[in-house]
Amino acid sequence: MSREKTIQVTVNRVAYEKTVSVRRSLADFIREDLHQTGTHLGCEHGVCGACTVSMNGRSIRSCLTLAVQADGAEITTIEGLREEDGTLHPIQEAFHQNFALQCGYCTPGFLITAIEFLKENPDPTERQVREALSGNLCRCTGYQAIVDAVMSAAGTEMPDRA
Amino acid sequence: MVRPSGQLSPQATPGRMASRRRQAGCKLKPPWFDYHAPESLEAALELLDNAGYDGRVLAGGQSLMPMLNMRIVNPSVLVDINRIEGLDTLEAGPDQLRVGALVRHADLLRDPAIREGWPLLAEATTQVAHPTIRNRGTVCGSVSHNDPAAEHPGILVTHGGSVVIASTKGQRKVPAEAFFDGMMSTTLDPGEMVIELRYPRPPRGAGHGFVEFARRLGDFAIAGAAVLLTVENGVCETARLTIIGMGDGPLRARAAEELMAGSALTQQNSGEIFTAAAQDVMAALDPADDVHASASYRRHLAGVMTQRALEAALARVGDQ
Ligand SMILES: Cc1cc2nc3c(=O)[nH]c(=O)nc-3n(C[C@H](O)[C@H](O)[C@H](O)COP(=O)(O)OP(=O)(O)OC[C@H]3O[C@@H](n4cnc5c(N)ncnc54)[C@H](O)[C@@H]3O)c2cc1C
Ligand code: FES
Ligand code: FES
């Protein structure tokens, strides 16, 4: 049947094989089938950015991607950012140091977006940072601390985890 | 009928729809469909042909998935083209640029040959959504979707480009202006898909301008203008001007184009000519009121965008 499909997908360095409904979103697959609830859902139509994850090294909206489309892909979510010994990713450290989160709902999406951006733009201007983050909404911080955090992480080496 | 993603009526907010779904104990957002991910174009065309009106191409999903999640559309067959080899052609040739069906907005932005040869396209693409959306969304998808506020349909028209369409019956090539057919509608027939866009190389020394107004960075434009201009010895040779965000799709401002072509155009007299062009544009438009802007505000914006895009284009004439 073309309404269910068995997929193989690697999420945060662990390989899974699961049978999913073809209309299951990647976000729901990650949250409800894999029980990794760090990926958040705000709007489910691409506007808020909370569900942003990394697929094969590129940031994507997991609410706008079907789980079956991730067959064969490598996914990194917020849960995969820190090292196995618990050391935070430099961008997590920068958010921590700069008080760049309050409720934290938007944070997973901001982190994944910022990592991709800083890999391609190691020496950005503040304007570029704001542009890069324009697709992520935060209702708490007023953004300034988030921009500060990304600016402060610029230039640090980004581990290859997302 | 179909509303652009991110622009929803108060009656159909995703929040309300989600709460209705939760009440119904349903954790899947889109309606049922049969999903196919063919690995060849032939197989995809076969599937689309069999599905007829009930089939839809799934490209980047950045417009289709929101519409499915909100159940604005209800196709019974989805043909995911992402696994088809050879649809990602991005080729800047001496005469034209070819953009295949799997070329993402982000691919255009990464290609220096496009910034150099088709700077209007490159500049407009920076205004399409946000980086993460641009990683997935395709240029052909945007053109096929024909949201009136989208950039790509208007840019293709400004270049005088064309759309290459395939079906099990063969291929046909349609000029951009004949492809767009009203609000979110095109002349694609059931069973057909877009496989490539072609953008002729702008004339040597052409100046380009693209200006849009959106409430927030990356939002769909409330109004925008795209311009390609050539000037030889102080006389405007060709002028192409397209307005977006205003009517049912990209609008070529023919009266303004005709006003400018053949007239003397220098930094000194440009103010006067561009004001007249903007007035022609405003007179030709008949926008509607909606939640984002009133009709008169939209018309006013179109005039301002026109003037700014023309000024930007004139300043760049001969730059290449
Ligand atoms: C938050 C957000 C902001 C956005 N902002 C903007 C913006 O500012 N400007 C803008 O222009 N767009 C914007 N978009 C839309 C985005 O550009 C989409 O990428 C684009 O409209 C559709 O491309 P797609 O590849 O994702 O198509 P899909 O979503 O996969 O498909 C869209 C429609 O086109 C059809 N289709 C797709 N490809 C083909 C093909 N090859 N042949 C025939 N039919 C096809 C599909 O069947 C469907 O009906 C935004 C989207 C989001 C989620
Ligand atoms: S939940 Fe995916 S963008 Fe908001
Ligand atoms: S920290 Fe609460 S939404 Fe951003």
Please write the tens of the pLDDT for every residue from B238-258: 999 999 998 888 999 999 999
Residue B259 covered by a domain: yes
Helices A144-153, A90-97: inter-axial angle, 10-degree rounding? 140
Instruction: Clarify whether residues B160 and B248 are in a common domain.
Output: no
Do residues B313 and B227 lie in contact, with contact meaning Cβ atoms separated by under 8 Å? yes
Task: Give every CB contact of residue A143 below 8 A, 6+ residues apart in sequence.
Answer: A130, A133
Whole-model pTM: value is 0.94
Residue B289 covered by a domain: yes
**CATH number of domain containing B229:** 3.30.390.50
Report the alpha-carbon distance of residue B60 to residue B136 in Å, rounded.
5
How high is the pLDDT of residue B7? 41
Q: What is the DSSP letter of B1?
A: -
**Which of A64, A76, A115, A147 to mutate to probe the B interface, most B CBs <10 Å?**
A64
**Of B58, B62, B105, best ligand 1 pocket probe by most atoms within 8 Å of the beta carbon:** B62
Question: Residue B56 has which token pair?
Answer: 């839809």
Residue B26 covered by a domain: yes
How high is the pLDDT of residue B319? 64
**Of A45, A47, A48, best ligand 1 pocket probe by most atoms within 8 Å of the beta carbon:** A47
Q: Which of A91, A33, A93 is nearest to A67 (CA)?
A: A33
Instruction: Clarify whether residues B192 and B100 are in a common domain.
Output: yes
Report the alpha-carbon distance of residue B260 to residue B281 in Å, rounded.
12
CA of B114 to the centre of ligand 1 (A): 21
pLDDT band at A1 (very low <50, low <70, confident <90, very high): low
Coil, strand or helix at B131: helix
* pLDDT tens by residue, B125-169: 999 999 999 999 999 999 999 999 999 999 999 999 999 999 999
Do residues A141 and A115 lie in contact, with contact meaning Cβ atoms separated by under 8 Å? no
Identity of the residue in A5, A45, A58 whose CB atom sits nearest the CB atom of B135: A58
Residue B120 covered by a domain: yes
Sign of the Cα pseudo-torsion (B303, B307, B310, B312, in order): negative
Instruction: Clarify whether residues B14 and B42 are in a common domain.
Output: yes
Of chain B, the end-to-end C-alpha distance in Å amounts to 43
Instruction: Clarify whether residues B100 and B150 are in a common domain.
Output: yes
- What does each of the 320 residues of chain B score in pLDDT, given as a tens digit? 333 444 443 344 455 555 554 444 456 689 999 999 999 999 999 999 999 999 999 999 999 999 999 999 999 999 999 999 999 999 999 999 999 999 999 999 999 999 999 999 999 999 999 999 999 999 999 999 999 999 999 999 999 999 999 999 999 999 999 999 988 999 999 999 999 999 999 999 999 999 999 988 888 889 999 999 999 999 999 999 999 998 888 999 999 999 999 999 998 999 999 999 999 999 999 888 888 889 999 999 999 999 999 999 999 998 64
Phi-psi map region of B146: left, alpha, beta (phi>0 left; psi -120 to 50 alpha): left
**CATH number of domain containing B140:** 3.30.465.10
- The DSSP string of B190-228 is TT-EEEEEEEEPPPTT-EEEEEEE-SSTTSPPSEEEEEE
Do residues A129 and A147 lie in contact, with contact meaning Cβ atoms separated by under 8 Å? yes
**Residue where one domain finishes, among candidates B58, B80, B102:** B80
Report the alpha-carbon distance of residue A77 to residue A161 in Å, rounded.
9
B282 lines ligand 1 (CB under 6 A): no
By 3-state DSSP, what share of chain B in percent is helix, strand and coil, each rounded to 5?
Answer: 40, 25, 40
Helix (H) or strand (E) holding A72: none
How high is the pLDDT of residue B197? 98
How high is the pLDDT of residue B290? 85
Q: Tell me the pairing of strands B162-167 and B96-100.
A: unpaired
Coil, strand or helix at A39: coil
Q: How far is CA B103 from the centre of its chain?
A: 14
Task: Report CA dihedral (B253, B258, B260, B262) to the nearest 10 degrees.
Answer: 150
Phi-psi map region of B244: left, alpha, beta (phi>0 left; psi -120 to 50 alpha): beta
pLDDT band at A158 (very low <50, low <70, confident <90, very high): confident
ipTM above threshold 0.85:
yes
* CA-to-CA dists, residue A77 to A30, A31, A54, A57, B33, angstroms: 9, 11, 6, 11, 28
How high is the pLDDT of residue B26? 52
Q: Identify the bridge partners of residue A60 per DSSP, sorted by sequence position.
A: A53
Residue B277 covered by a domain: yes
Spell out where chain A has E strands.
4-11, 14-21, 52-55, 58-61, 74-76
Range of the domain at B212: 207-316
Question: Residue A92 has which token pair?
Answer: 């997590």
How high is the pLDDT of residue B25? 44
How many domains would you assign to chain B? 3
**CATH number of domain containing B44:** 3.30.43.10
Ligand nearest to the CA of A141: 3
CA of A134 to the centre of ligand 3 (A): 14
Report the alpha-carbon distance of residue B94 to residue B124 in Å, rounded.
22
Whether the pLDDT of residue A52 is over 90: the answer is: yes
**Is the Cβ pair B216, A134 closer than 8 Å?**
yes
Residue-range domains of chain A with CATH: 4-79 (3.10.20.30), 90-153 (1.10.150.120)
Instruction: Clarify whether residues B12 and B52 are in a common domain.
Output: yes
* pLDDT tens by residue, A89-120: 999 999 999 999 999 999 999 999 999 999 99
Residues 65-84 of B with CB under 8 A from A: 65-66, 68-70, 78, 80, 82
Q: What is the DSSP letter of A141?
A: S
Do residues B87 and B74 lie in contact, with contact meaning Cβ atoms separated by under 8 Å? no
Mean pLDDT of chain A: 96
Residue B85 covered by a domain: no
Residues 102-141 of A with CB under 8 A from B: 113, 116-117, 130-132, 134-136
